[in-house]
Amino acid sequence: MTEPESTPSAIERTVHLDATPDDAWQLLTDPTELAGWLGDPVDLALTPGHGGRLVVDGHERRVVVDTVDEARLLRFTWWTDADPAAASTVTLTLDADEDGSRLTVVEAPVLRAGPVCHVLDAIAAAGGPDDPWTRALLALEVRSFLAARRFAPLTA
């Protein structure tokens, strides 16, 4: 995983996955796989304009899917009922690389007339040890590693 890059207006993380973009897409979109690295439970329809909910770090988030470009890009907006003004847009972009895929995650606030805010607090924005994206992407890396071994042919 690369060092976190953060600005007051966006959080960006990039991670290598030991999976082709097609296999990595399953890790990002299959409800069971998504629950394994991002949040559990997952109730989400991956169709633009539709949505659902995720529970991340014990907080329920409502989700509306904005864009789906299979095996390439997933963009959604999420928020909590406790603080809907802190809505943010999350963009997951997959690119093939030399031995798997590169996933870039960008979370940016939905700009409003008031102060700029986003779902993650200042500690998380700084990429600290309690950063939910750091924890989630580490879990995704492990799932990707295990999935690559599950589907790889055995060698003698």
pLDDT of residue 42: 86
* Residue 37: per-residue pLDDT: 87
Which pairs with CB-CB distance under 8 Å and at least 24 residues apart come from 106-111? 106/10, 106/11, 106/12, 107/10, 107/11, 107/12, 107/133, 108/9, 108/10, 108/11, 109/9, 109/10, 110/77
Give the Cα separation of 4 and 11 in Å (integer).
8
Q: How confident is the model at residue 122 (pLDDT cuts 50, 70, 90)?
A: very low
Q: How far apart are CA 28 and CA 116, in angstroms?
A: 28
Q: Is the pLDDT of residue 136 over 90?
A: no
Paired residues of 52 in beta bridges = 44, 63
Residue 94 β-bridge partners: 103
Classify 130 in phi/psi space as left (phi over 0), alpha (psi -120 to 50) or beta. Answer: alpha
Ordered structural domains, the chain, with CATH: 5-151 (3.30.530.20)
Per DSSP, the chain holds a count of helices (H) and strands (E) of 4, 8
3-state helix, strand, coil in the chain (%, to 5): 25, 40, 35
Average confidence (pLDDT) over 81-101 = 91
pTM of the full structure: 0.71
Question: Using CB atoms within 10 A of its CB, is residue 55 exposed (0-12), middle (13-18) or buried (19+)?
Answer: middle
pLDDT of residue 147: 65
